[in-house]
Amino acid sequence: MKFDAPVIGILRGVDQAFFGELLPVAFIAGLTAIEVTMNTEGAAAMIREYRPAVPPGRWLGMGTIRNLEEARQAVEAGAMFLVTPNCDPAVIAYANSEQVPIVAGALTPTEVYAAWAAGADMVKVFPCGSLGGPQYIRDLRGPFDRLPLAAVGGVTLHNLAEYFAAGANAVGVATSLFGGKALREKNLQELGQNVKNFMDHYRKASDTV
């Protein structure tokens, strides 16, 4: 199955009960993919419990997959896609063998190409904001005009359109998407509105590309 998610919502440190409430709210608000980081307490249990509740056309995956053992744990829990912060060919090969889409982390041009050559479905440019944000994506697009790139790290509502104009195929976003205050206070109504607002901005940005 082709992984098609232009905005990936990243959740780190969320508790399991709140995650169960958050998931349908975020999907209803228009988000297509949610990534729970592996270093969130009980992450595998969250995936295992709530994977059956994911509606058609939506994705629930695991991120911060740093090695092969974590990749195996994620797949066994039912993760629909994997996201890594680093480029590990063994992890990419395992995901491919299990037919689970993988967004593999890279930063330098050499790492970006290595991740793609190893079989990543998409390359996560991370931390993108530290190397110039949209301009860095634009620079990578020179030699890598056809590689699918996901910008992660430093993406906000204010520079979202710039990232897509620069050539990003997707973005990974945490508090700028859900809202730090809404997450802290577990305010589902505010959280849903934040996600809807972000996705509205994405649609406007994609229409101009």
Which residues does the annotation mark as catalytic? Answer: 35, 124
Q: 127 preceded by cis ω (within 30°)?
A: yes
Q: Which two tokens stand for residue 186?
A: 């577990």
Q: 6 preceded by cis ω (within 30°)?
A: no
Q: HSE (CB half, 13 Å, CA atoms) of 166?
A: 22
- CA end-to-end distance (rounded Å), the chain: 25
Distance of CA 97 to the CA centre of its chain: 21
Alpha carbon distance 8, 201 (integer Å): 14
